[in-house]
A and B are shown apart, each in its own frame.
Chain A
Amino acid sequence: MNRHIIAVAALAVAAGLATGLPAGAQEAKTYPEPAGFDAAAKTSWSKVKPDEWKTRIETDETQRLCNLYRNNPPPDVARKIMEMNRATVVYPADGQVIGDWKKGQALANNGRGGQFSDEPNTVNGGNCYACHQLDPKEVSFGTLGPSLTGYGKARDFSPDAAKEAYAKIYNAQAAFACTNMPRFGATRFLSEQQMKDAVALLFSRDSPVNK
């Protein structure tokens, strides 16, 4: 998928050169925030502390660009978003990306963390089942994301594919600009060990995902 987007971007650059237009000058609909948005947000979240405001209500550059193009950025912006996010991915120092699939299963079932109703010491979950099918025996799965049943088996349990999966969990926007999937590692929502456990759920031979 990301190769496809880069290929499209390269074509756009070539077309730009041929016509004398700057790259990315093709039509792309934008959706800037309307007048009064900031003021309405400030009065509507009047009790929010400044640090919380910065991390929760303000947008970072990736969010700002995805919002501006309503998740359909033109190829050059999509490439910029992916490059920016690829730079955030940090692999485990020991090179080992596969943890414990049983802990990964619990992580995939845990939807807690990050909500104002959570206790401060709440351990965040990945909530993977909210959007993905994983263990075929689990009936309560969402369809916002693709089914991941048989994920590792379909990739011949390849170590490179496992590393790629780790990167996608760490920061999905490195692979797909403006995907719905959270940037679990880049935002420190999940720990390195938790992400390893999630990869194990996808790539262990004895994981129910591959049965």
Chain B
Amino acid sequence: MSLFAAMGAEAQDGASSEAEIQRYREMISDPMSNPGFLAVDRGEALWSTRRGSKNATLETCDLGEGPGKLDGAYARLPRFFADAGKVMDVEQRLLWCMTTIQGLDTADVIKRRFSRPGVESDMEDLTAFIANKSSGMTFEPQLGKPEEKAMYALGEAMFYRRSGVLDFSCATCHGETGLRIRTTNLPDFSKPNKSAQESIGSWPTYRVSQTALRTMQHRLWDCFRQQRLPSVDYGSDMVTALQVYLVAVAKDGELQVPSIKR
């Protein structure tokens, strides 16, 4: 990486195209016309809807701050949950609450994990609602417990691990500051820095190109796709491990969610 990236620094002479790209980014980042807030509203309604074999709402779900306490919960996830005996991200935890509190069959929920035209995603909407309750707050990575440290180590290893037909790792694109793929600026996740804070702090986001609110589960699933890896399981430990690592490099970054992106 170091040899190639060092040469890359010589190639940043597209100043005029950069100005055009910046203009486009500003055009789409108008929060007043962000459809992501519709997902927040749907999520709020879902949170208090009785469902499942136990005919219960999610209002007693503990996302780490105590049953039903949502303010700041997303800013301190992923974290270790003693009742489940593992480190969970917001989406894993929601699935756990659906199963244990509501007695809901999550197979259907997972089938609709990513929305598409005509199919709404409970997971995207609930995550948008919960994350929005931490908007304006800063990330507080939870790395104190041995299980959290172990997940960080897994996530860091995955971040740097090259594999597959094109030898890519996450670090191939996100291991240096100030680089671009095509016209897309690449946040640097190799160390704590502003680009990592801004990037991680803007998820979940409304993707204009996909006309959908997307969560980190979708983002990382899509990163693995671009890396030419097979489809990663929804709510699996490797995705949570990567989030533990990413939130650590985004430490003290401010959440502004849901945001809007291309």
Q: How far is the CA of A146 from the CA of B228 in the complex (A)?
A: 23
Q: Which residues of chain B (25-53) have a CB below 8 Å from chain A? A: none
Is A110 in the interface zone, CB < 8 Å from B? no
| B225 pairs with A117, CB closer than 8 A | yes
Contact with B along A23-49 (1 / 0, CB 8 A): 000000001011111001101111110
Residues of B within 8 Å of A48, CB to CB, are 230
| A44 pairs with B232, CB closer than 8 A | yes
Is A139 in the interface zone, CB < 8 Å from B? yes
Contact with B along A68-83 (1 / 0, CB 8 A): 0011100000000000
| B13 pairs with A147, CB closer than 8 A | yes
Q: How far is the CA of A62 from the CA of B172 in the complex (A)?
A: 15
Residues of A within 8 Å of B171, CB to CB, are 70-71
Residue from the list A45, A130, A182 in contact with B167, Cβ < 8 A = A182
Q: How far is the CA of A189 from the CA of B168 in the complex (A)?
A: 13
Nearest to A117 among chain B residues (CB) is B225
Chain B: residues with Cβ within 8 Å of the partner, total of 53
Q: How far is the CA of A62 from the CA of B14 in the complex (A)?
A: 34
| B167 pairs with A146, CB closer than 8 A | no
Question: A43 CB to closest chain B CB, in angstroms?
Answer: 6
Contact with A along B5-36 (1 / 0, CB 8 A): 10110111110110010000000000000000
Question: B32 CB to closest chain A CB, in angstroms?
Answer: 29
Is A161 in the interface zone, CB < 8 Å from B? no
Q: Which residues of chain A (168-205) have a CB below 8 Å from chain B? A: 176, 178-183, 187, 189
Stretch of B132-140, B150-158, B196-204 contacting A (4+ beta carbons < 8 Å): B150-158
| A46 pairs with B233, CB closer than 8 A | yes
Is A67 in the interface zone, CB < 8 Å from B? yes
Residues of B within 8 Å of A57, CB to CB, are 163-164, 229-230
| A67 pairs with B232, CB closer than 8 A | no
Nearest to A66 among chain B residues (CB) is B162
Q: How far is the CA of A55 from the CA of B7 in the complex (A)?
A: 30
| A34 pairs with B157, CB closer than 8 A | yes
Q: Which residues of chain B (208-261) have a CB below 8 Å from chain A? A: 225-226, 228-233, 236-239, 241
| A142 pairs with B180, CB closer than 8 A | yes
Question: A51 CB to closest chain B CB, in angstroms?
Answer: 11
Is A96 in the interface zone, CB < 8 Å from B? no
Contact with A along B57-101 (1 / 0, CB 8 A): 000000000000000000000000000000000000000000000
Q: Which residues of chain B (145-197) have a CB below 8 Å from chain A? A: 150, 153-154, 157-158, 160-169, 171-173, 178-183, 186
Residues of B within 8 Å of A36, CB to CB, are 150, 154
Is B119 in the interface zone, CB < 8 Å from A? no
Residues of B within 8 Å of A114, CB to CB, are 164-166, 228
Residue from the list B1, B164, B169, B181 in contact with A56, Cβ < 8 A = B164
**10 further A-B pairs in the complex, CB-CB below 8 A; given A133-B13, A139-B16:** A44-B233, A44-B237, A45-B229, A58-B163, A139-B20, A143-B12, A144-B173, A145-B4, A182-B167, A187-B166
Query: B residues within 8 Å of A by Cβ?
Result: 1-5, 7-8, 10-14, 16-17, 20, 150, 153-154, 157-158, 160-169, 171-173, 178-183, 186, 225-226, 228-233, 236-239, 241
